[in-house]
């Protein structure tokens, strides 16, 4: 088991080495404004037997959770996903028809999820040959990590490892959590992130694992290239280093922070065909505007709402909404089924946005499914914020995989080439003080008291219709037969 803890401060700041105290018990330092990332790596033999068996039935597993609370981040931790729980997996090639029920049972440690059926998942890609397997995707609006942190504390931490217990409890305040498994490495990696805020440089040591600590700040090394990010600071290996060692390095950065912010809200009145309005306060291309950048929005839509790909194929209609094209949509999407009969978790779409000037809104037309009746005739639904980013072609030859903080398997990144650089626009709540990165909408539904009358009326109408048809048939059978005589001319000829 190995652990890496990284603090990164804004450019122009840093920590005086004299304020860091390397002790046998761990590293102590001052209270500073910083982001923090914790990564712990388990080998397959260090996992509980049931979890080991589950992972060995999969070639890959990627879980991405993001809070709905707004937060500020710094490079190299610029990547974002829509709020909620995202999961993708690829069954082992030799597993045949894979049943996700066991995987779903583990997912319930995040909260109440309905994912036991394979029809709940959507396909990410089709295998190009018989040697490849299809990847499957699932999403749910999990709001916090409270339940999961208790599970991880109980199942992943040795009973006497108080440091691990503390780590798992702290997950409840994290802004994101990644869990990744790759059968080729036979390792499970869990990475938690805390946003820019005042935090103490405090990393306790455990004798059960090797812990590396980096106390860094954004910097510009002399040889840093435009496609790279740079940091400088101090590195310490707890239990091995008597004092921090200085460091300065740069690395290719796949995810960057773009200028400006955006917000999302539904236009009112919404009805059953609402429009999601995206407002950006800056549409200036990153990187000087000469890197071939396009502006995109990647929407994760629960099954209560969907986009009609046929409506989004009309160029004139798209232009009127400040949209350029629909670049991707999850297939298939049933355009008629109510939400309560739709088994798939929902759908995802990638839209290219028009590049205007100044503050401008783009509107995404969506469609609500029929929901169960309610006492008020309205149901409150929260739709997670999309991810808005610039996708820029990189001419750099360097591999982004050499970035020690690189983040992959986010859903939208697979829709672009490996050389694409993503410049993320920071999301902000549409209403100051709301504190959540979700777009709220009131869905009109049938009232419960009216539903009973409709059921009675429908039953009565069906019964009356049946009686009428029966009466017509009986009357036809009871009517005497009519004798038809031949015409007079025919009789004379005979």
| Whether the Cβ atoms of residue 193 and residue 64 lie closer than 8 Å to each other | no
DSSP state of 382: E
Q: Is 482 helix (H, G, I), strand (E, B) or coil?
A: coil
Q: What is the pLDDT of residue 127?
A: 41
Residue 461: CB partners within 8 Å, gap ≥ 6? Answer: none
Q: Is 134 helix (H, G, I), strand (E, B) or coil?
A: coil
Q: What is the pLDDT of residues 245-285, one digit of tens each?
A: 999 999 999 999 999 999 999 998 888 899 999 999 887 88
* 163: confidence class by pLDDT, cuts 50, 70, 90: confident
Residue 355: CB partners within 8 Å, gap ≥ 6? Answer: 283, 285, 294, 295
65 beta partners:
85, 177
Q: What percent of the chain has pLDDT over 70?
A: 89
Q: What is the pLDDT of residues 58-83, one digit of tens each?
A: 999 999 999 999 999 999 999 999 99
Per-residue pLDDT for 318 more than 70?
yes
Per-residue pLDDT for 476 more than 80?
no
Rounded average pLDDT over 201-215: 92
332 preceded by a cis bond (ω within 30 of 0): yes
Per-residue pLDDT for 35 more than 80?
yes
Distance CA 384, CA 397 (A): 36
Quickly list DSSP for 225-274: -TTEEEEEEEEEETTT-SS-EEEEEEEE-SEEEEEEEEEEEE-SS-TTS-
Q: What is the pLDDT of residue 412?
A: 95
Which among 161, 165, 173, 191 is positioned nearest to 42, based on CA atoms? Answer: 191
Q: What is the pLDDT of residues 360-379, one digit of tens each?
A: 799 999 999 988 887 777 88
Distance CA 490, CA 454 (A): 60
Distance CA 256, CA 75 (A): 6
Rounded average pLDDT over 384-410: 91
Q: What is the pLDDT of residue 337?
A: 83
351, 356, 358, 359 alpha-carbon torsion, rounded to 10°? -40
Per-residue pLDDT for 338 more than 50?
yes
Per-residue pLDDT for 114 more than 90?
no
């Amino acid at each position: 088991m190995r652990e890496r803890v990284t603090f990164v401060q804004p450019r122009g700041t840093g920590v005086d080495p004299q304020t860091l105290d390397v002790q046998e018990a761990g590293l102590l330092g001052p209270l500073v404004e910083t982001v923090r990332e914790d990564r712990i790596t388990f080998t397959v033999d260090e996992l509980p037997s049931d979890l080991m068996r589950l992972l060995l039935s999969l070639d890959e597993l990627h879980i991405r959770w993001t809070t709905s609370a707004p937060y500020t981040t710094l490079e190299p931790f610029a990547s974002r996903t829509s709020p909620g729980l995202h999961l993708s997996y690829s069954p082992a090639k030799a597993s045949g028809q894979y049943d996700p029920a066991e995987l779903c049972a583990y997912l319930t440690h995040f909260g109440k999820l309905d994912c036991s059926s394979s029809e709940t998942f959507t396909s990410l890609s089709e295998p190009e040959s018989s040697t490849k397997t299809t990847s499957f995707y699932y999403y749910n609006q999990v709001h916090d990590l409270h339940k999961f942190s208790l599970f991880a504390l109980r199942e992943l931490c040795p009973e006497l490892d108080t440091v691990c217990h503390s780590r798992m409890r702290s997950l409840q305040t994290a802004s994101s959590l990644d869990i990744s498994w790759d059968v080729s490495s036979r390792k499970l990696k869990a990475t938690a992130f805390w946003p820019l805020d005042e935090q103490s440089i405090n990393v306790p040591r455990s004798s059960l694992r090797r812990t590396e600590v980096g106390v860094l700040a954004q910097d510009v090394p002399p040889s840093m290239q435009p496609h790279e990010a740079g940091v400088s600071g101090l590195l310490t290996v707890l239990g091995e280093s008597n004092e921090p060692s200085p460091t300065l390095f740069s690395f290719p950065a796949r995810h960057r922070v773009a200028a400006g912010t955006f917000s999302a809200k539904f236009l009112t009145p919404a009805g059953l065909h609402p429009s999601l309005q995206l407002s950006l306060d800056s549409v200036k291309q990153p990187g000087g505007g000469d890197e071939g950048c396009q502006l995109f929005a990647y929407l994760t839509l629960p099954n209560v709402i969907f986009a009609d790909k046929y409506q989004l194929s009309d160029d004139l209609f798209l232009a009127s909404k400040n949209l350029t094209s629909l670049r991707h949509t999850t297939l298939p999407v049933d355009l008629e089924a109510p939400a309560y009969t739709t088994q798939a978790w929902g759908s995802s779409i990638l839209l290219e946005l028009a590049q205007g000037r100044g503050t401008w809104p783009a509107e995404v037309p969506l469609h609500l499914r029929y929901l169960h009746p309610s006492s008020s005739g309205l149901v409150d639904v929260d739709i997670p914020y999309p991810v808005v980013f610039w996708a820029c072609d990189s001419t750099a030859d360097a591999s982004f995989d050499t970035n020690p903080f690189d983040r992959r398997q986010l859903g939208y990144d697979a829709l672009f080439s490996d050389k694409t650089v993503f410049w993320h626009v920071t999301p902000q709540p549409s209403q100051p003080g709301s504190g959540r990165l979700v777009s709220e909408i009131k869905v009109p539904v049938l009232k419960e008291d009216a539903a009973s009358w409709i059921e009675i009326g429908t039953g009565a109408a069906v019964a009356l219709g049946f009686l009428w048809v029966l009466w017509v048939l009986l009357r036809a059978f009871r009517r005497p037969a009519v004798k038809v005589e031949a015409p007079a001319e025919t009789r004379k000829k005979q």
